[in-house]
């Protein structure tokens, strides 16, 4: 199989049939084989019935609603194509942009090319959160990608198979792949208006995405030796605590100031205790990670109700 197209679907009744026709029209221009995989994330409308009306597709019906990240992860793991294409099920990603992404991949010898919805209309609050998220990402993970929320992407198989997604991590796929050494690029793509249904992206998802950013930064930088991070914090608190205690001792010797009347003494004692606590945290977390790696759990993070091949 040359191409696998992954489309996560959640309550997209009225958008699916048209999108399927557009995808097949674009992909049929290639002489290579392709498969279209729709991941139904337990839609509560008639999306599943609409999916069942399609031909030459694979439908993965999830046991419950897990979210877009898990839906993509399921599709990625099921895909067999040499190249993996992902796009949203709401019809806002334009399949006509797919050849443009492949052209960029070939010209620059890239492993992944993502779409950049440069001209898109959002609520002012969402725009602010997006700008804040982009600023924070550039500081902590340096992914250098303008639009991490755009699902329209083209991957080489080896890049996709290196991923294990959870939470809201689909926004940070580019950062994860860049850290793994894959070559990343982006192309400006069309952002179409939604014709049916309502957007699933809101303030709560944006905030959860920022929380996941902190998690990803920690896992990438300190997952092998978390003691280093807590060790740095511990040394910082020891330094501040040492200065404070030094001042209180100096005042006691030369100015005869009682220690119980000197705020620096209690401040120094507090920082020393914090240093000890952070060092203990680092050791405990380091041991827990080692135990987790040695006794990996076989508990599944998601369950598939059924797989339907049309």
For 57-91, what is each residue's pLDDT tens digit?
A: 999 999 999 988 899 999 999 999 999 999 999 98
In tens, the pLDDT along 197-207 reads 776 655 566 66
> The tokens of 227 are what?
């003691």
Every domain of the chain and the residues it spans: 3-222, 226-292
Query: Model confidence over 240-298: pLDDT tens digits?
Result: 888 888 888 888 777 777 767 777 888 888 888 888 888 887 777 767 766 665 555 55
Global pTM reads 0.73
Q: Which residue has the higher pLDDT, 175 or 97?
A: 97
Question: What is the per-residue pLDDT across 132-191, written as a single tens digit (0 to 9) for each?
Answer: 666 766 666 666 788 887 899 999 999 999 988 876 677 788 888 888 889 999 999 998
What CATH number matches the domain at 3-222, 3.30.750.24, 3.30.1020.10, 3.90.550.10, 3.40.1210.10? 3.90.550.10
Q: What span, in angstroms and rounded, lies between the C-alpha atoms of 89 and 43?
A: 12
Cβ proximity of 43 and 11 under 8 Å: yes
């Amino acid at each position: 199989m040359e191409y696998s197209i992954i489309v996560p679907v959640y309550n997209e009744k009225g958008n699916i049939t048209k999108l399927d026709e557009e995808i097949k029209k674009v992909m049929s221009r290639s002489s290579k084989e392709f498969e279209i995989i729709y991941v139904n994330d337990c839609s509560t409308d008639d999306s599943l019935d609409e999916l069942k009306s399609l031909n030459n597709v694979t439908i993965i019906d999830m046991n419950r609603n897990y979210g877009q990240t898990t839906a993509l992860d399921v599709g990625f793991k099921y895909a067999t194509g040499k190249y993996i294409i992902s796009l949203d099920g709401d019809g806002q990603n334009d399949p006509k942009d797919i050849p443009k992404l492949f052209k960029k991949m070939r010209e620059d010898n890239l492993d992944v090319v993502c779409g950049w919805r440069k001209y898109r209309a959002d609520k002012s609050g969402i725009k602010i959160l997006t700008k804040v998220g982009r600023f924070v990402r550039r500081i902590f993970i340096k992914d250098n990608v303008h639009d991490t929320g755009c699902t329209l992407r083209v991957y080489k198989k080896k890049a996709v198979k290196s991923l294990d997604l959870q939470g809201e991590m689909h926004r940070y796929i580019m950062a994860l792949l860049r850290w793994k050494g894959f070559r990343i690029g982006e192309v400006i793509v069309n952002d179409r208006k939604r014709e049916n249904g309502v957007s699933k992206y809101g303030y709560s998802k944006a905030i959860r995405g920022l929380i996941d950013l902190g998690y990803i930064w920690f896992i990438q930088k300190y997952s092998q030796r978390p003691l280093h991070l807590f060790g740095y914090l511990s040394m910082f608190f020891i330094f501040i605590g040492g200065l404070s205690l030094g001042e209180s001792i100096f005042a006691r010797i030369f100015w005869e100031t009682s220690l119980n009347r000197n705020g620096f003494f209690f401040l120094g004692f507090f920082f020393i205790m914090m240093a000890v606590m952070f060092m203990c945290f680092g050791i405990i977390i380091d041991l827990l990670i080692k135990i987790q790696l040695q006794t990996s759990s076989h508990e599944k993070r998601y369950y598939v109700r059924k797989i339907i091949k049309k």
